Structure 1
Amino acid sequence: MVERQLAARGVDDDAILSAFRKVPREEFVPEDLREFAYDDAPLPIGEGQTISQPFIVACMIDAAEIASGHRVLEVGAGSGYAAAVMSCIAGEVHAVERHEKLAREAASRIGRLGYDNCTIIAGDGMAGLPAEAPFDAILVAARIGQVPDALKHQLKVGGRLIVPVGGDDIQQLRCITRIAQDGWESHDITPVRFVPLLEGVVPEDGARASSDHRPARDMSTPELIAANCTPLPDIDDPQFAAAFDKFADKRIVMLGECSHGTHDFYAARAAITRHLVDNHGFNIVAVEGDWPDAAAYNKFIRGEELRQDQESPFQRFPGWMWRNTVMPGILRALREINAGRDEDAMVGFYGLDIYNMASSIEAVLAYLDEHDPDSAVVARERYGCLTPWQADPATYGRVSLSKGYAECEEDVVKQCNEMLRRSLADNSGAFSAAMNARLVASAEKYYRVMYYGGSESWNLRDSHMADTLGHLLENRGENAKAVVWAHNSHIGDARATDMGAVRGEHNIGQLARERWGDDVALIGFGTHGGTVSAANDWDGERETMRVNPSRRDSYERLCHDSGVERFLLDLTGEGELSRRLLAPQLERFIGVIYRPQTERWSHYSDAALPRQFDAYCWFDETRALEPLGKGEPHQGVAETFPFGV
């Protein structure tokens, strides 16, 4: 922690680094969170409070310029961790905590660990501690809109007050220096997020349970989320993916995302997928991407020979969805896993979607050219009515509204049925060709019905994805287990959102629950703010956009206000939290298009989170997904295909 989180970020004061090495952080967190004690994140400590991120504590101590012999006041002692660290540097530390229970526990902990120059008391931090003033440094561990004069006046001349100042979303960590008896100057240090500083003392009333500290009815919803969630370490920590072991007994685990352009969601799904494949027998990775493009990735991870003239997959808009800086790592990891397995036990990578009609037609014809040239001639005739529109199938959809295209649909469906029958009798590549034939049939209908509007085109698409998943499970046999990557709008049960309740739409999550029941786990992903890769219009240029902070009337704001940076929340339980979350709230959905200026109407919809998902994975601040450069060379380079990096 000291080397990676503090020294590596520029904290170079030997006294501070030494103090952090001395104080055992695991002693200051709840017993069930000790394994996360040294993560780069705040952790809940009860009463809706958190122990701050280690780096932020170090920043505050560094900014306060605490030295040997100094007298220090901390407002918001919490668990007592920061006070303990400061006591290893300063001469005397006084810490005030408004929650009597936390103050009592912190004082007991400080005494047991032997920090004799540190005193923790229950009190109102807004008033400071006038009986012990003046102080060389005052540190406030909670956000505040207006700095109390009482704290400024309790500084010595030359003393420093370090305090987060600002509103609910982001505050500025501010340093206020007393330069004269009636003079102060200030400067901002860095943006931060803290829980609010509140007035008054919270007494111990004897009504708090040992697990929740208070009756659930007396806790706010964000406090209940903090008390019930499982805090998560960094994504690259093995314990991150291990937290999802609770879903390892499912046959299908669906991993969502609330945007198509967020690095953290892709990196998290990659870590979880690798863990489930490597440790729990999952052998299907199915994504919201097209079958023919995903087939190239599937060949790569299975170590199969690739055509020298193979086109780079996933070239159409939005290319960053499946050609990004996360994908090479997970594909190489799956390839390494497959290298040690028999062919029947290998994990496969498959596309569920229906957009790439042209490549699917090419794949069907290529298969028939090799295995049944006579049938290939017939197939070319049947697909003839689609040929002019392969490059722009949406144009076909518009033209097909005119008379005379029913025969084309009949021919396409007939070809699909023949390929499906062929796949039942011959599994040497016929299965993939049949899936491509299904895609052509579904896409032909999709591009027609989309011009009528309404729910039919959406329902057709998600029905196709659900059916493709069913075919994959059937093809891989009774031991097949699938991880699915798709947007929250596809995997969250549509019946729990406006999609189903108002617009009459269903999705793959709903259809999977209806078909496989308790063998399915639906896990949504969400964020409060940060950046995202998106475009302003379909087929537009990708931009790195700033995500608006979540709305106050949204599920995202409830999660943000919990104060926990990353967590996994089980939504299958009963109790006060479940009851409150069942009340419909706004939920944000960002696809490949993001329009911040119209966000309320274009990106929020009502939902009932516990009915929509089985669990919810939260990242408070996220960053944009980075695309790979265009045209990476890969022809003939099996070790680097399909990315050339």
Structure 2
Amino acid sequence: MTRYRDEVIALTAPLADPGDLDVLLDRIGDARVALVGEASHGTHEFYQWRAALTQRLIAECGFSFVAVEGDWPDCARVDRSVRLLDGEPDDPRAALTAFERWPTWMWANEEVVDFCRWLRQHNATVDPADRAGFHGLDVYSLWESLREILLYLRENEPGEVPAALAAYRCFEPYDEDPYNYAQATRFVPTRCENEIVDLLVGLRERAAADGVAEFGAWQNAEVVAGAEEYYRSMMAADHESWNVRDRHMDRTLDRLLSHYGPQARAVVWAHNTHVGDARATDMADAGEVNIGQLARERYGSDRVVLVGSGTHRGTVVAGDAWGAPMRLMPVPPARPGSVEAILHEDAPARALSVFPRRERADVLSDELGHRAVGVVYHPERDLGQYVPTVLGQRYDAFLWFDQSRGVLPLRTRPSGVLEPETFPTGV
């Protein structure tokens, strides 16, 4: 443990202002993808410093877009606002307050508003073709994406509406409840795969024109396909549904990079459990992959930088059950012997660690617990919230905040329909 402590502290420097991120920007260098994680979906410092890093990557390094662990249709409204498209709100806050899916605070919060306002201001200073986007990677918006496809086809390709209606009508009996659909596929041979395939084929062909609207319709169709597979797999095995979701996010990221062009570069915002390489945790033992691992495999470790984050204690916004009202909860001091406990003892109150490149096999190679807080959280059970982690292999860099506080949620109107609970809970 003493050797581990000496290694991590030797790689750690104080983090006082965005200028202290220089060493991380140097580490990112010409990487095509920078994935920046959070140890919870409700901590101010994770959002604040991830935004500060992303602002520098966009303004100074020419990164093309931000892709987040959020739904495509919701994030598309934000994207249209930050890219100053005609008829869209001048203030991205209006798009963010329209988020309805629980947990709304995950993206509908003041910290994201501040970043999106900065992004819109930045985009106002560059040519439209060079404006940075804001996109969702996740798989949940089955019915919302179907409706977006129908709207697009009715306005642009009315002859193709029947294929979209066939897909919509196949799902219609389940009353927009994915659990009902998942249950039906378990007990009777009822699936909507054929209708989705028919829909996808046509939209993929039209997306070859590479227009913004065409690409959005195609991506919504990919979401429908991914969601159908995800909800069906939920009834079989936990790790399989996790893999369906992360492989969908990986493919969406790759489609976005291709859409933006051969020189495109992306920043990804997601939970540490998605960002940190799964092979450096016990996720690998369960047969689970994540987008951090998949990005390293797809683009090469030298073109991908994975940044994790953590905190010792503070507060966090979460719910005490799936779909429960959000509330500010305490985060107790970290478990003894964990990554967070070691950093608490010796690291600066706010710090950045940048690890050596892939030849680092013998650096930070011990397996220690590393806290992961979901959108469902019980502080009294915090000792069970730790993922066995080889820190130097899971990440390329780490943002540390000894004391932290909850995000500032926006007032939204959550929908009455809940997605089935994710596994692990809320990450």
Question: Which structure has the highest helix share of the two?
Answer: 2
Contact in 2 for aligned 1:383/1:412 (Cα 8 Å): no
Task: Encode CA deviations 1:403-455: one digit per residue, 9 max, x unaligned.
Answer: 2323x211112212321121013525100110000000110111111122231
Which residue does the alignment assign to 1:504? Answer: 287
User: Counterpart of 2:265?
Assistant: 481
For residues 295-330 of structure 1, give each alpha carbon's deviation from its aligned partner in whole angstroms, at most 9, with x where no partner exists. Answer: 000000011134799895321100000000111111
Q: Does 1:358 align with 2:143?
A: yes
2:245 corresponds in structure 1 to 461
Tell me if structure 1 keeps the 8 A contact 2:97–2:108: no
Matched-pair identity in %: 40
Is 1:242–1:275's contact at 8 Å kept on the other side of the alignment? no
1:320 aligns with 2:79: no
**Contact residue 100 and residue 413 of structure 2 kept, 8 A:** no
1:554 matched to 2:335? The reply is no
Cα displacement (A) at 1:559: 1.1
Show CA shifts across 1:99-119 (max 9, x none). xxxxxxxxxxxxxxxxxxxxx
User: In structure 1, what residue type is equivalent to 2:180?
Assistant: T
Q: 1:574 to 1:441 in 2, by over 3 A?
A: closer
Alpha carbons 1:496, 1:611 under 8 Å: kept: yes
Task: Give the aligned partner of residue 290 of structure 1.
Answer: 71
Indicate how the Cα distance of structure 1 residues 617 and 503 shifts in structure 2: closer, same or farther if over 3 A, else same. same
CA distance in 1, matches of 2:189, 2:303: 45
Would you say 1:472 and 2:252 are equivalent positions?
no
Question: Runs of 5+ in structure 2 lacking a partner?
Answer: 415-427
Give the Å deviation of 1:579: 3.5
- SS for the counterpart of 1:425 is coil
1:175-230 Cα distance to aligned partner (Å, 9 max, x none): xxxxxxxxxxxxxxxxxxxxxxxxxxxxxxxxxxxxxxxxxx9x654344333312
Give the secondary-structure state (helix, strand or coil) at the position aligned to 2:388. strand
Quote how far apart the aligned CAs of 1:257 are: 0.5
| Shift in Å, 1:387 | 2.2
Contact between 1:571 and 1:578, CA under 8 Å: does it hold in 2? no
Larger Rg belongs to: 1
1:606 partner SS: strand
C-alpha separation in 1, matches of 2:97 and 2:315: 27
Aligned to 1:314, the other structure's residue is in SS state coil
Offset from partner CA, 1:109-151 (integer Å, 9 cap, x none): xxxxxxxxxxxxxxxxxxxxxxxxxxxxxxxxxxxxxxxxxxx
Q: Does structure 2 conserve the Cα–Cα contact (< 8 Å) formed by 1:223 and 1:562?
A: no
| C-alpha deviation, 1:390, in angstroms | 5.7
Structure 1 equivalent of residue 38 of structure 2: 257
Other-structure match for 1:564: 348
1:377 Cα deviation after fit: 2.4
Following superposition, the deviation at residue 356 of structure 1 comes to: 1.3
1:242 and 2:22 are equivalent in the alignment: yes
Kept in 1, the 8 Å contact 2:81–2:95? The answer is no
SS in 2 for 1:556: helix
1:515 paired to 2:298 = yes
Is 1:304 paired with 2:88?
no
Shift of 1:378: 2.6
Asked if 1:337 is matched to 2:153, the reply is no
Q: Does 1:626 align with 2:427?
A: no
Pairwise CA distance, 1:505: 0.3
* Structure 1 residues 339 and 585: alpha-carbon distance in aligned structure 2, compared to 1, 3 A threshold: same
Q: Which residue of 1 aligns with 2:417?
A: none
Q: Given the alignment, which residue of 234, 254, 257 partners 1:450?
A: 234
Separation of aligned partners in 1, 2:413 and 2:88? 17
* Structure 2 residue 177 is the aligned partner of structure 1 residue 392: yes
Q: Could you say which residue in structure 2 is the equivalent of 1:437? A: 221
Alignment TM-score, normalising by the size of structure 1: 0.61
* 1:427 to 2:207 alignment: no
What's the counterpart of residue 62 of structure 2? 281
Q: Closer, same or farther in 2 for the Cα pair 1:361/1:526, shift >3 Å?
A: same
- Whether the aligned pair in 1 keeps the contact of 2:98 and 2:413 (CA below 8 Å) is no
Matched-pair contact (CA < 8 Å) for 2:364–2:392: yes
Partner Cα distance (1:479, 1:598) in 2: 46
SS at match of 2:123: helix
How many angstroms apart in 2 are the aligned matches of 1:552 and 1:389?
Answer: 47
Instruction: List structure 1 runs of 4+ shifted beyond 6 angstroms.
Output: 307-311
SS in structure 2 at match of 1:587: strand
Which of 608, 612, 617 aligns to 2:399? It is: 617
SS of the residue 2:110 aligns to: coil
CA RMSD of aligned residues (A): 2.2
Asked which structure has the greater RCO (Cα within 8 Å, sep 6+), the reply is 2
Mark the CA change 1:457 to 1:279 in structure 2 (over 3 Å): closer, same or farther.
same
Structure-2 separation of matches of 1:619 and 1:445: 38
1:598 to 374, 381, 392: 381
Structure 1 residues 423 and 574: CA distance shift in structure 2, 3 A? closer
CA offsets 1:347-393 (integer angstroms, 9 cap, x no match): 00000001111211111111100111121123102321112336322
Query: Are residue 225 (structure 1) and residue 47 (structure 2) matched?
Result: no
| CA distance in 2: counterparts of 1:270 and 1:478, whole angstroms | 25
**What SS does the corresponding residue of 1:353 show, helix, strand or coil?**
coil
* Aligned pairs (5 A) from 1:194-213: none
- Write out aligned runs for 1:33-48 (5 A): none
Deviation (angstroms), 1:400: 2.1
The change in CA–CA distance for 1:428 and 1:566 in structure 2 (over 3 A counts) is closer
Is 1:523–1:615's contact at 8 Å kept on the other side of the alignment? yes
Counterparts of 1:480 and 1:390, CA distance in 2: 40
Mapped contact 2:142–2:224 kept (Cα < 8 A): yes
1:628 Cα offset (Å): 0.9
CA contact (8 A) 2:45 2:405 kept: yes
